[in-house]
Amino acid sequence: MKTRNYSGFRAALQQSTPLVGDGAMGTTLNQRGLDIETCLDALNLEQPAIVADVHRLYIESGARMIQTNTFGANRFKLDRSNLQDKICEINLAGVDLARKTADASFKEIFIVGDIGPLGARLAPFGKIQQAEARKVFKEQAGYLIEGGVDAIIIETISDLNEILQAIKGVREASAEIPIIASMTFTRDDRTLLGDNPVRVAKDIAALGVDVIGINCSGGPNQILRILRTMRKAVPEASFSVMPNAGWPENVDGRFMYPATPEYFGQYALTFWKAGTSIIGGCCGTTPAHIASIAERFNGVDFKTLKLESISVNSESTEISLEDQPTELCKKITAGKFIVAIEMDPPKGLSTHKLLAGASLLKEAGADVINVADSPMARMRMSPWAVCHLVQKELNIETVLHFPTRGRNLLRVQGDLLAAHALEVRNIFVVMGDPTSIGDYPEAMDQYDLVPSGLIKLIKQEFNLGLDHTGHNIGQRTSFVVGTALNLNPKNAEKEIKTLAKKIENGADFILTQPVYDPEIARRFLQQAEAELGKLPIPIFVGILPIASVRHATFLNQEVPGIEIPQRYLQQMQDAEDSQIEGQKTKTGIKIAIELINEMRSFVQGVYLMPAFHRYDVAAEIIEAIRAAD
């Protein structure tokens, strides 16, 4: 393996004179008649002379740092051109062409191995898992390092998670290689997935790269604005800028870039004063643009110039006057045995029966009313309205069920703000029922976040006064967040792993699926605590009173995770056979109370789900619970 003097590149970054990079490879090749849609990386093998000539033009224009023609030479992208078996050859040839061209110039030129995006989205917005992404980035970086590059540039990445995995992949390939990590931004100064420059700069800097970069995006004006924002966020970092030649315009099927070389050059000194160590170009830039930058630096005594001063202001987040624990949170902290009751929103406009039932439950001693959201994917009134009405009319707190299914990131955040504005601050995060089983099977069923991700957004972003992009929302929210748990899963290891992630992301309490065998629940929790340690948040065990033998049979046969012991099935059968009026209901209540009493020693509350809207049944169970307190 060839070795390079990495200290030389790092020393160049510390010099007062900025390092001039090259411009666009694809644009220059396109101007020579090559189709931009072809695999340009394959030209390293198929037409090496034309690639070398582009390198030569940039060097002659004043570039002291050139990037290898390997932007798309990763396994995913090469696979589309059936070139995955040539990944090693293409990358090594790319380095060799750049090195030989640089050596022929008799100038000190740094060769930087170019790594672009994978061309496939990472989870949770795509199918590529983090480990797989790191492996692909590591593979390409390994070939570039073997070829003898002076540094690696990871560029034109629009997903913050992707660039973080790329950095880690390169670091796995080499602990020593210098890294330039460069992101691209949309017109609103955010990444494609909504991350702002401050978050990008801080997250990249935390991984210890040599240079934080901004490339592609718009023209010099936008990138200067983003650079200044990033430098304020991480003032000790080194930066690189490689703007497009303005925003591209489609003219008769061709993309045209409006920024002239002269205009581009006007920003050269301004970029340096704003704190950049490397200045080059991206899409639409040509050797003429790079020459314009280099000419601006000729004869400049950089030792006498000063960088722009920056004031590092950490934006304070206003604390809401409402930023107090909810009543549910206070009761949990005080160690009270919690009773939560689930209610469904009405199917029409009338809320009279629901409010009457909620009033009965409050009088019986319920702590909170849980309001479901479109249970079984059936069309019902918005639970936001129901929660607000219950709290306003009856002065009892509610827990809003908040499914991730059917909501994109925009709607999720808007709905959270709406809930908080309505003083609904207890949230139960759940995946939600698929629309295919409900009233509108063709309705959109997509989602941007899984429950653990939504918990993280609420507790680690909204409750800190930030939206998902890191933008200040003016004040902190004060949500208390619950999560779901199956105490009788088919795959206990997977359920425990998911639970650990939810707790790590900030869940405050757990609501379980209905339980009919306390011993099964106890064994699962013992296994969870053996793997995770004592669970730091309370568990409210699900209790669904059995209404009849038919009801019990349905639950036992058709609802995943529910197993009703034979003794309870027999008790319900005996109640039906007795033909005594009300005996089935009494038996269902008796079983529910028995289950609660058996589990009180290892759970911190009950989550009652009265079947068929039998709130009178729930009230009787609550009264029995309170009598035992």
| Per-residue pLDDT, 440 | 46
Amino acid at 83: L
Question: Is 315 a residue whose pLDDT tops 80?
Answer: no
pLDDT grade for 441, boundaries at 50, 70 and 90: low
Look up tokens 């969870």; give the residue: 528
Half-sphere exposure of 363 (CA within 13 A, CB side): 9
Strand 179-183 relative to strand 151-157, pairing = parallel
Would you say residue 250 has pLDDT above 60?
A: no
Token reading at 39: 């695999």
CA distance 372 to 477: 22
Residue ranges of the domains in the chain?
Answer: 6-304, 337-546+600-628
- Arch. (CATH architecture) of 337-546+600-628: Alpha-Beta Barrel (3.20)
Q: What pLDDT does residue 255 have?
A: 58
Rounding to the nearest 10 degrees, give the CA dihedral for residues 220, 221, 223, 225. Answer: 150
pLDDT tens readout for residues 31-60? 887 876 789 999 999 999 999 999 999 999
pLDDT digits (tens, 9 = 90+) for 484-518: 999 999 899 999 999 999 999 999 999 999 999 99
pLDDT of residue 621: 96
6-304 classified as CATH 3.20.20.330: yes
CA dihedral 47, 53, 56, 60 (to 10 degrees): -160
Neighbours of 575 (CB within 10 A): 22
Q: Specify the pLDDT at position 322.
A: 37
pLDDT at 323 over 60: no
Contact 617, 585 (CB under 8 A): yes
Give the pLDDT score at 116. Answer: 97
Supply the pLDDT for residue 213. Answer: 97
Query: Which pLDDT score is estimated for 314?
Result: 41
Over 60: is that where the pLDDT of 444 sits?
Answer: no
Q: Given this model, what pLDDT does residue 29 score?
A: 86
Residue 242: name the closest of 193, 192, 197, 276 by CA: 276
Can you give the pLDDT at residue 468? Answer: 86
Helices 615-628 and 352-364, axial angle in degrees (round to 10): 20
Q: What mean pLDDT is predicted for residues 21-38?
A: 83
Query: How many secondary structure helices (H) and strands (E) does the chain include?
Result: 24, 18
Give the model confidence (pLDDT) of 550-598 as tens digits: 999 888 888 777 889 999 999 999 999 999 989 999 999 999 999 999 9
Mean pLDDT in residue range 140-167: 96
Q: What is the CA radius of gyration of the chain?
A: 31
Give the model confidence (pLDDT) of 104-127 as tens digits: 999 999 999 999 999 988 887 778
For residue 13, name the pLDDT band (cuts at 50, 70, 90): very high
Which range in 280-284, 348-352, 376-380 is most confidently predicted, on average pLDDT?
280-284
Average pLDDT, the chain: 89
Q: How far is CA 58 from CA 20, 32, 149, 294, 316, in A?
A: 10, 15, 17, 11, 46
395: left (phi over 0), alpha (psi -120 to 50) or beta: left
- 339 beta partners: 606
Domains 6-304 and 337-546+600-628 share a fold: yes
Question: Quick one: which of 35, 31, 24 has its CA closest to 58?
Answer: 24
Q: Read off the tokens for 109.
A: 């030129």
CA 411 to chain centre: 15
Q: Which residues lie below 8 Å from residue 508, measured CB to CB, with a gap of 6+? A: 329, 332, 480, 481, 482, 537
Burial grade of 130 (CB within 10 A; 0-12, 13-18, 19 or more): middle
Nearest in space to 244 (alpha carbons), one of 262, 264, 225 = 264
pLDDT of residue 311: 58
Token pair of 618 as six digits: 């729930």
pLDDT score of 2: 47
Give ∠ CA 199-133-452 in degrees, rounded to 5.
60
